[in-house]
Amino acid sequence: MIAFPSSWRHEPVGLGVGFVAVQGLNVVRAISLFYLGPWSTPVFKFAHEYLWRALIMLDVLIVWLLWVRPAQYAYGLPIFLALVLAARGKGRWVRVLGGYVLLLPFQAFSLTMSALMQMVQSAQTDIRLLRIAQWQMEAIIYGYQWGSLVVPTLAPILLWLWMDRSFVSDVLVRGWRASLPTASP
């Protein structure tokens, strides 16, 4: 959280809210495991080893994404939402939630490349100060370009095409075929 730009007034507030959010969920985890242990050992093991680890990681990811203002870095989320809502059909909100989860790795890539690029810019591209090789700096710059220009636009469109295959097939492909001129012998 400290690596992303914000005013000194907002840093302690963001760190405090993030700490409370993560530790609050951790308290809920401890209480639930306290009651699950005597009730069922297999359920306790599953909740302790898998479920709560995933939920805590998701909580940290959500706090982090709220802090870094994802719309600033990953404008693909509104593109995906608009495409899914325009396609209509049943289960739209399930596809929206599933698509958001599937877009998180792409968004994380964009944010990571943005953070690395900020480090390169703050070092004024001095390789000796960064202690990286020339090819590594070029990879960061190239990754930043992909993460800020290509991935946020292309990933939601490709994901929508995959998730709404029936809409694409029924409406777009059928409409395209109907618009082709008929071959006359």
- What is 9-33 written as a DSSP string? THHHHHHHHHHHHHHHHHHHHHHHH
- 5 band by pLDDT with thresholds 50, 70 and 90: low
Residue type, 13: V
Termini Cα distance of the chain: 68
Domain boundary pick from 49, 68, 87: 68
Q: How many domains in the chain?
A: 2
The answer to whether residues 113 and 143 touch, using CB atoms and an 8 Å cutoff, is yes
The confidence score (pLDDT) of residue 68 equals 67
Q: Are residues 49 and 61 in the same domain?
A: yes
- Whether residue 54 is found in the same domain as residue 79: no
150, 85: one domain: yes
Domain check: are 83 and 57 in the same one? no
Residues 92, 164 share a domain: yes
Alpha-carbon span 184 to 16, nearest angstrom: 73
Domain identity same for 64 and 90:
no
Tokens 């709404």: give the residue: 164
> Looking at the predicted structure, is the pLDDT value of residue 73 above 60?
no
Give me the pLDDT at residue 6, please: 64
Sign of CA pseudo-dihedral 34, 39, 45, 48? negative
Residue 185: inside a domain, yes or no?
A: no
Average confidence (pLDDT) over 34-57: 85
Q: How high is the pLDDT of residue 84? A: 85
Q: What is the pLDDT of residues 139-162, one digit of tens each?
A: 888 998 888 888 888 888 899 888
* pTM exceeds 0.75, yes or no: no
Whether pLDDT at 180 is above 80 = no
Q: Is 120 helix (H, G, I), strand (E, B) or coil?
A: helix
Question: Using CA atoms in the order 175, 76, 99, 62, what is the torsion angle rounded to 10 degrees?
Answer: -170
* Residue range(s) defining the domain that contains residue 21: 1-68
pLDDT, tens digit (0-9, with 9 covering 90-100), for 90-143: 888 888 888 888 888 888 888 888 888 888 887 776 667 777 788 888 888 899
pLDDT computed for residue 1 by the predictor: 54
Q: What pLDDT does 61 receive?
A: 75
Residue 22 lies in a domain: yes
Q: By C-alpha distance, which of 110, 130, 131, 133 is closest to 120? A: 130
**Residue among 114, 107, 90 at smallest CA distance from 167:** 90
